[in-house]
């Protein structure tokens, strides 16, 4: 198992604080039925955080004309929209919501070249709120696939997310299924594909990063 390199410090802090609290509980709380359940909760919290920040090994399930999910989670939006920032055209938006128990490492949805990258500070509305895509803190990444078609995805902060990490740089050549970043705590990915793309998922579907094909171009 590999831990995201930008999360090692956060995880170390969780371990240190949990160890200190466990020491206090075992040293000062003399009632076993009070102390031990709290210790168990702290140990469970450490295990959960370790799982949360891990980067799973996945085999990419896409092709040169398919885009896979950037994140683990549940599809919450599939609709026709106008993308104003980079593509500047009508697109199909496919949004995947990550809850607290999903892996929050993000992965490139296809092979290609990064054509656009911007980071936008903003609000921290709940990630499933309708205005979150425009108003929340987010990063935008344009990706041109080998056959020339282009897609865009947003890493979107949620109500509890306070850090977005993205490895994109314009001109970077990337490979589908490799890590492109991480969002710390509840958040969402918005993927914009051309109108003629064949969408392979529906609202409510559970998806896995790298493995689930969202659309065929």
**Active site (annotated) includes residue 18:** no
| Active-site residue (options: 7, 18, 133, 187) | 187
Three-state SS for the chain is: CEECCCCHHHHHHHHHHHHHHHHHHHHHCCCHHHHHHHHHHHHHHHHHHHHHCEECCCCCCCCCCEEECCCCEEEEEEEEEEECCCCCEEEEEEEEEECCCCCCEEECCCCEEEEEEEEECCECCCCCCCCHHHHECEEEEEEECCCCCEEEEEEEECCCCCCEEECCCCCCEECCCCEEEEECCCEEEEEEEECCCEECCCCCCEECCCCCEEEEC
The catalytic residue positions are 187
């Amino acid at each position: 198992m590999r831990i995201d390199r930008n999360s090692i410090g956060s995880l170390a802090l969780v371990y240190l604080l949990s160890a200190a609290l466990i020491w206090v509980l075992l040293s000062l709380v003399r009632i076993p039925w009070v102390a031990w359940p709290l210790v168990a909760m702290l140990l469970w919290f450490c295990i959960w955080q370790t799982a949360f920040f891990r980067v799973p090994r996945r085999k990419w399930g896409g092709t040169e004309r398919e885009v896979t999910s950037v994140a683990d989670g549940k599809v919450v939006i599939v609709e026709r929209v106008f993308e104003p920032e980079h593509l500047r055209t009508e697109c199909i938006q496919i949004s995947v919501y990550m809850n607290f128990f999903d892996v929050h490492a993000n992965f490139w949805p296809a092979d290609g070249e990064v054509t656009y990258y911007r980071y936008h500070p903003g609000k921290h509305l709940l990630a499933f709120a309708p205005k979150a895509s425009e108003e929340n803190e987010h990063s935008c990444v344009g990706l041109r696939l080998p056959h020339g078609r282009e897609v865009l995805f947003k890493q979107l902060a949620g109500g509890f997310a306070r850090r977005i990490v993205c490895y994109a740089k314009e001109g970077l050549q990337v490979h589908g299924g490799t890590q492109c970043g991480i969002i710390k705590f509840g958040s969402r990915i918005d993927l914009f594909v051309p109108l003629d793309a064949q969408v392979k998922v529906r609202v409510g579907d559970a998806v896995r990063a790298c493995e689930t094909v969202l659309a065929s171009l």
